[in-house]
Amino acid sequence: MKLVFLRNLIRDTKRLKIIIICALVLLESTVLIGAAFDPVPSASIGIIGGADGPTSVYISGVGSKKLQKLINDLLTRNADEPYRPDNEEPGREEVPGAEKPIEQEERDNTGADLPEATEQQRKEAAEKGLLILINKQNPVDKDYKPEDLVPIEKYYAADRSKAARYMRKEAAQQFYKLVEAAAEEGYELVMTTAYRSYDFQQILWNNYVANEGEAAASRFSARPGQSEHQSGLAVDVSSPSVDYSLTETFCKTEEGIWLAQNAHRFGFIIRFPEGKESITGYLYEPWHIRYVGEPVATEIYAKDLTLEEYLELYGLI
């Protein structure tokens, strides 16, 4: 449902509670019917109120947060007061085609209007080692270890290896900012693993090969020396909505969608995007983000590139 459509429909309507009651009854009926065919329905509704109509509405399910906020705002406002969303100033009407503030929730995420990194910005990122390419064709030595690794002291899954709670200093600082920005919008993201040494990766690889076979393992796991995690710039993130697991379904959660659309603002890219397996060498991993710095990350996001494609585009490999 388009929230803008709902907002415009009821902007000047005084009997909002009657409309909301009718709409919720219809929606609840749909959910109950769906539950008859699906024992685990994708949404649920709760209504609290009395004779004058509902005073609070609780809605669960993907995409429900913004809708619940809108409905509860409408329930608690004065009936004679025209509805005005949080980001609309008094006396200001929306004009079709008018420029929208970049901070607004319903912003366009096409990336078409995002800036390219300058040559100087790419040079600085390369000099800081942020554009290091580690893949099947470009392994690093067994002894390679960044000098500026720092421990991740918050926003991590407590049941995962402490040895993997390290990132390069700049990447760690930006990771904190990313998680905190997500939290401000109601999304919880945590780190499951970040830095891995060569020996750590060797253990993981051996286990995957033993269980899956070498051919299958090579599609989703890196051999030692070929893992981006050894750079200290990569981090795997997850959320409670998928029980802190690393699964492709993360991309369909509100947290996963937010991450895909906003990681570049903090210098991160989705390192192994969908549909680019032939380039990256690995299956789609919506949880795996890699720090390259904000200017480069923004350009990669805007142009829908992989790191390999970006480096080749500018002759950096």
pLDDT digits (tens, 9 = 90+) for 231-270: 999 999 999 999 999 999 999 999 999 999 999 999 999 9
C-alpha to C-alpha distance for 141 and 49, rounded to whole angstroms:
65
**Residues 6+ positions from 202 with CB-CB distance below 8 Å:** 224
Q: Give the per-residue pLDDT at 60.
A: 43
37 pLDDT above the threshold of 70: no
Mean pLDDT is lowest, of 42-56, 82-96, 218-232, for 82-96
Give residue 317's pLDDT band: very low, low, confident or very high (50, 70, 90).
confident
Which residue carries 């600085």 as its tokens? 124
Q: Give the per-residue pLDDT at 111.
A: 62
**Active site members:** 285
Give residue 287's pLDDT band: very low, low, confident or very high (50, 70, 90).
very high
Which residue carries 């608690």 as its tokens? 76
Nearest to 72 by CA among 93, 49, 94, 92: 49
Residue 51 CA from chain centroid, whole number: 42
Other CB atoms within 10 Å distance of the CB of residue 279: 16
95 pLDDT above the threshold of 90: no
Biggest CA–CA distance in the chain, Å, is: 72
> 190 forms bridges with which residues in the sheet?
238
Instruction: Using the CB atoms, write b or e for 167-196: b if 16+ within 10 Å.
Output: bbebbbebbbebbeebeeeebebbbbbbbb
Going by the DSSP 8-state scheme, the letter that residue 130 receives in this structure is: T
C-alpha to C-alpha distance for 302 and 244, rounded to whole angstroms:
28
Nearest to 262 by CA among 228, 297, 235: 297
Q: Give the per-residue pLDDT at 23.
A: 53
Q: What phi and psi values does residue 25 have, to the nearest 5 degrees?
A: -60, -45
Pair 145, 200: CB distance under 8 Å: no
164 pLDDT above the threshold of 60: yes
Pair 202, 120: CB distance under 8 Å: no
Architecture of domain 119-313 in this structure: 2-Layer Sandwich (3.30)
Which residue carries 């990766």 as its tokens? 201
**3-state SS assignment for residue 227:** coil
C-alpha to C-alpha distance for 175 and 94, rounded to whole angstroms:
35
155 pLDDT above the threshold of 70: yes
Q: Please tell me the pTM assigned to this model.
A: 0.66
Other CB atoms within 10 Å distance of the CB of residue 120: 9
Mean pLDDT is lowest, of 26-35, 131-140, 204-213, for 26-35
Gyration radius of the chain over CA positions:
23
Domain boundaries, the chain: 1-107, 119-313
Cα separation values, 225 from 33, 133, 195, 197, Å: 53, 12, 12, 9
Q: What angle do CA 155, 241, 220 make, to 5 degrees?
A: 80
